[in-house]
Structure formats: structure tokens, C-alpha cells
Structure 1
Amino acid sequence: MKITDPPRSAERRKDDVLSRLERETDIWVATADDAGLPCLVPLWFVWHTEAVWLSTRITSPTGRNLRDGGRARLALGDTLDVVLLDGEVAVFAPADVPEAAAGALRAKTGWDPRGDSPSYAFFRIRPYAVQAWHGEHELRGRHLMRDGAWVV
């Protein structure tokens, strides 16, 4: 898309976001600790039941930040095709994660953290805000979700 192209409609942007959430395997996960020290890592994920599900070690900086902070910012794409999701985090021990969510992650990535190490936890991130844009000409109208509800 070029800056001279007309901006996408809100409906098209939402469709594009949902398509990418289904299609892509990696998502950037941004968290911060209690002192505000940021952490940014790419993790495998799956979009399942209107939430991002991912897994990492609960002892890693990201795992601790997700558990203790209760929120995260997620990002797809590059600077020419941005998707940002802000979400609330719920933590699940391997024995407590819903089978459908663990199965969806396994089906998408080929990996089941439950068989890897007991230090892995599952994290469900329910978005409360979603933004999407292709360049400056799409900054207007970039907010697709607010307060957990799609605005389109």
C-alpha cells in the first residue's frame, strides 16, 4: 500500500486484523516489570476464542511480567502494516489450561508446552484495544476496538 492509496475502511481493517491473527505465527509481546523496565520478545501464538493464547516460562522476564502486571501490548507486522493490541492477561498452569486452547496452539505451531517443561505457563490475552494502520494516511480511523468492544 502506498500513501497515495485511499485509506482502508474500518471494516476492511478489522477483516485484515482478524486474517493476520489467524495466519501469522509470531507476535511481539511487550511487557514491563514493577520498576518499569520494558521487555519485548516475539512468541508463537494462536488466536482462539477472541483472545491471543501464548506460552512461555513463568520464570522468564516476560512470564513474570505477564503474571504480575496483568496486561501486555502485542504487535504484528512492521512499520508499514501495523497492528497493536492492548490486553488483559490471565495465567494458566499447564494442568489448568483449557484443552481447546492448548490444542489450538499445538495445531498451529506443532508445539505443546505441556510436554516441554513444568516451568511453562499459558497466557490468555483478551484485547481491550486494537489499532491498525498502513502509514500516516491511515492514522485517522486506526482505533478498531475500545474497552473490549469492536467499534466497527
Structure 2
Amino acid sequence: MTITQPPRDTASRIRDVLARLDEEQDVWVSTADTAGAPYLVPLSFLWDGTHLWLCTRIGNPTGRNLSDGGRARLALGHTRDVVVLDGEVETYGPKEVPTEVADGFHAKTGWDPRGSGPAYHWFRVRPTAVEAWYEEPELVGRHIMRDGAWVEAP
């Protein structure tokens, strides 16, 4: 895919990212353990308008890293249409997740982790930085959120 349009302005990029967060079902989740060893997996997610909600077993590398490290880098898209989000993570036990989140996650993904046992924990990711770009012409202006605030109001 080659982008032939002029680079999008910040407001357009923010609108596009918000639409993708509503529509897409899976996100790449990058974490690191306490020694700094990286780990990357795809997980299903729910966007609630402010946070991304993930669910995985607390005992696997991603669950441990999310819980212990409190940070993650998430990525949507392929190499020519990129969204990268850095965020702060809060961990919720299986009985602590808000019902509307678990119900929304189930409706969006078709999977209800509440029926998968107590090993599945929930992770709420608050974006603190977001970058979005189509190919090289959009590298300038790719930072659309900094310090948890959109560069321009969506």
C-alpha cells in the first residue's frame, strides 16, 4: 500500500486513531520483565473511550509484566499504517473488573474471560503517548498525544 494523499493533520490522525480503537479487535502488546527482557503478544482489547482493557492469565509473561511493570507499549496496524500507544497499566482481579467492561469486552471479542477461571486478570491501560503515521511522509507530526493529553482536541 502506498499513500498518495498529503499527510493528515493532527485532528484527522486523532479521529482515525479513535475510530480504529473502536473498530479493531486485537492489539500488539509489548512488555518487559524486571530484568528488561522484552515480550510481545497480540491480545484482544476493548476501548472504553479513555482506556484500553486487556485480559490474560496473570501467570504468563505478559500478565506478570503488565502487573509488575505497570507500563506497556501497544501497537495497531501494519508497517505502513502505524498506531503506537504507550500507557500506564492498572491490574484488576477477575472479580474487580467493572461489569460494563467485561460485558463490552465479551460483546466486542466474542470471548468472556469471566468463564475461563480465576487465572484471568484484567489490565486497564491509560494511554500517555500516542503516535500515528502512514509511511515516511507522515513521520513529522506523528506525536498526537503527550503526557496523557491529545495534542489537539479530537
TM-score tier (shorter): over 0.9
Matched residue, 1:53 = 53
Structure 2: distance between partners of 1:12 and 1:130: 14
Note if contact 1:29-1:74 (Cα within 8 Å) is conserved in structure 2. yes
Amino acid at match of 1:27: V
5 Å matches for 1:74-113?
Answer: 74-113=74-113
Matched residue, 2:9 = 9
- Residue 4 of structure 1 and its aligned partner are, at CA, apart by 4.4
Give the percent of matched residue pairs that are identical in Structure 1 and Structure 2.
Answer: 62
Gap runs ≥5 in structure 2? none
- Residue 49 of structure 1 and its aligned partner are, at CA, apart by 3.7
Structure 1: distance between partners of 2:13 and 2:108: 23
Q: Deviations over 1:92-123 (max 9, x none)?
A: 00101111111110110111111111100000
Matched residue, 1:124 = 124
Structure 1: distance between partners of 2:45 and 2:9: 27
- Residue 5 of structure 1 and its aligned partner are, at CA, apart by 2.5
Structure 1: distance between partners of 2:41 and 2:23: 19
Give the secondary-structure state (helix, strand or coil) at the position aligned to 2:128.
strand
Q: Deviations over 1:42-75 (max 9, x none)?
A: 0000101411001000000000000000000000
| TM-score, normalised relative to structure 1 | 0.97
Structure 2: distance between partners of 1:37 and 1:77: 24
Q: Deviations over 1:6-52 (max 9, x none)?
A: 10111110010000001010100000001111000000001014110
Give the secondary-structure state (helix, strand or coil) at the position aligned to 2:2.
coil
RMSD of Structure 2 on Structure 1 (CA):
1.0
Moved over 2 A (4+): 1-5
Note if contact 1:21-1:47 (Cα within 8 Å) is conserved in structure 2. yes
Amino acid at match of 1:65: N
Note if contact 1:72-1:89 (Cα within 8 Å) is conserved in structure 2. yes
| TM-score, normalised relative to structure 2 | 0.96
Number of equivalent positions: 152
Gap runs ≥5 in structure 1? none
Give the secondary-structure state (helix, strand or coil) at the position aligned to 1:141.
coil
Structure 2: distance between partners of 1:19 and 1:3: 19
